[in-house]
């Protein structure tokens, strides 16, 4: 099976319907479909093109997980939510713009998209979800938009090429291991809005040389700067910071 054109008489496609159809290259979905269920095209490793109709409102968990040949995909404005790991392991996906209609993004949505270099997050999203960019090894720069208030655990874990990052003053919390193994980061500015920094947040940032923790930060998690072998200057401006090792 290399090509699939689903007729309009079909109103529902069940979970795992085309899982491991490794020769499937193109799919056209009918306007009668409103939901893409879990794992629908999971491990369709040859899939390069899919047209998602404007009738679709929800894309559930791991729908395109490990679709390694998928380079570009257009999600219509009708879609309001992306489930967990929707594009996990889509190692050929280079750029993606999340439509403004999206108000929910699940964890690991773009994890291990190893060629991803660009991603736009709409104003409707106020947090960077858990492991969103985990293992995105080609991501070199990222400006976190000013509507983001929290960066969740492992958000940029092992983004080894990430060297330019801007954290806006809207962010109040940075979760655990957010920049763990981001080995290209040399300096990073934490804004005065941040009140808590999680465990291992800068662990294994081997080229990080300097960091200033603002007065607003009251809690720094354990192992926050573990194995930062180039770190020579850590300035903690608040006298009441608590270092937590639990």
Asked whether 124 and 100 are in contact (CB, 8 A), the reply is yes
Retrieve residue 144's tokens: 């976190």
Supply the pLDDT for residue 98.
87
Whole-number Cα distances in Å, 57 to 90, 110, 136, 191: 21, 19, 27, 36
What is the chain's pLDDT, residue by residue, as a tens digit (246 residues)? 899 999 999 999 999 999 999 999 999 999 999 999 999 999 999 999 888 999 999 999 999 999 999 988 889 999 999 999 999 999 999 988 889 999 999 999 999 999 999 888 999 999 999 999 999 999 999 989 999 999 999 999 999 999 989 999 999 999 999 999 999 999 898 999 999 999 999 999 999 999 988 989 988 998 999 999 999 988 887 764 555 544
Supply the pLDDT for residue 242.
54
DSSP 152: -
Q: Are strands 164-166 and 81-82 parallel, antiparallel or unpaired?
A: unpaired
Q: What are phi and psi of 81, to 5 degrees?
A: -145, 140
Cite the beta strand spans of 29-144 per DSSP E: 35-36, 49-51, 58-59, 81-82, 95-97, 104-105, 118-120, 127-128, 141-143
Asked whether 85 and 111 are in contact (CB, 8 A), the reply is yes
DSSP structure string for 109-166 = TTTT-TT--EEE--TT--EE-TTTTTT-TT--EEE--TT--EE-TTTTTT-TT--EEE
Supply the pLDDT for residue 245.
46
> How wide is the angle at C-alpha 160 spanned by C-alphas 93 and 67, nearest 5°?
25
Beta bridge partners of 27: 4, 50
> Can you give the pTM of this predicted structure?
0.91
- How large is the C-alpha radius of gyration of the chain? 20
Supply the pLDDT for residue 156.
97
């Amino acid at each position: 099976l290399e090509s699939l054109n689903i007729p309009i008489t079909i109103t529902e496609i069940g979970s795992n319907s085309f899982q491991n159809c490794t020769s499937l290259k193109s799919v056209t979905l009918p306007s009668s479909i409103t939901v893409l269920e879990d794992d629908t095209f999971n491990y369709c490793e040859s899939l390069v093109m899919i047209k998602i109709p404007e009738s679709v409102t929800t894309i559930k968990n791991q729908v395109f997980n490990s679709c390694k040949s998928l380079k570009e995909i257009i999600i219509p404005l009708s879609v309001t939510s992306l489930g967990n790991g929707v594009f996990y392991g889509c190692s050929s996906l280079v750029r993606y713009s999340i439509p403004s209609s999206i108000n929910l993004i699940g964890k690991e949505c773009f994890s291990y998209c190893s060629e991803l270099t660009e991603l736009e997050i709409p104003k409707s999203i106020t947090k960077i979800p858990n492991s969103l960019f985990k293992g995105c090894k080609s991501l070199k720069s990222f400006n976190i938009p000013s509507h983001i208030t929290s960066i969740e655990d492992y958000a940029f874990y092992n983004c080894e090429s990430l060297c330019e990052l801007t954290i806006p003053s809207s962010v109040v919390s940075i979760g655990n291991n957010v920049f763990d193994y981001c080995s290209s980061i040399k300096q990073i500015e934490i804004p005065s809005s941040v009140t808590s920094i999680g465990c291992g947040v800068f662990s294994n940032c081997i080229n990080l040389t300097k960091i200033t923790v603002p007065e607003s930060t009251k809690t720094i998690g354990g192992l926050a700067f573990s194995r930062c072998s180039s770190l020579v200057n850590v300035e903690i401006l608040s006298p009441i910071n608590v270092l937590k090792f639990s």
